[in-house]
Amino acid sequence: MVLVDTNILLYAVNPDTGQHAAAKRALEQLHNGREPWALTWGILYEFLRVATHPRVFPKPLSFRQAEAFVDGLLRSPSCLVLTETSEHRAELAAAVGQLPRIGGNQLHDLHHAIVMREHGIRDILTCDTDFRLFPWVDIRSLTE
């Protein structure tokens, strides 16, 4: 199973990026495949925030367009939306013990990495190299 990061979703809806075709193809393969893949609500909300923000996204989507994209993802029978488990606090403490200098913007990625660990997922489809910080996460790139 692989968790799909926000940047892949954003590249898939933005035809002006160099990663658009690869991201769109990767999502289509996941969406139509039988192997389970995952998102989190945090990733989906981040997508909605960035994709509709006129100062962040080059050609912002309307909320309805962004919501329709999310709905399409969630309609995939192999897509799971992961949430925190009852072990989340303990996993956070363990992660911080492994990463004593973690802080700032890294905490957003840490949240996703901890949810992945809670669900036994190692792979994340992302272009964000910051996930290399987490020894329990393996980055799957668009070129794989």
Over the stretch 34-77, which tens digit does the pLDDT of each residue have?
999 999 999 999 999 999 999 988 889 999 999 999 999 999 99
Domain made up of 2-140: CATH architecture: 3-Layer(aba) Sandwich (3.40)
Q: Are 95 and 134 within 8 A, CB to CB?
A: yes
In the predicted structure, residue 115 carries a pLDDT above the cut 90: yes
Mean pLDDT of 84-98: 95
Q: What is the pLDDT of residues 4-13, one digit of tens each?
A: 999 999 999 9
Q: Are 130 and 138 within 8 A, CB to CB?
A: no
> pTM of the entire structure?
0.94
Q: Where are the domains of the chain?
A: 2-140
In the predicted structure, residue 144 carries a pLDDT above the cut 80: no
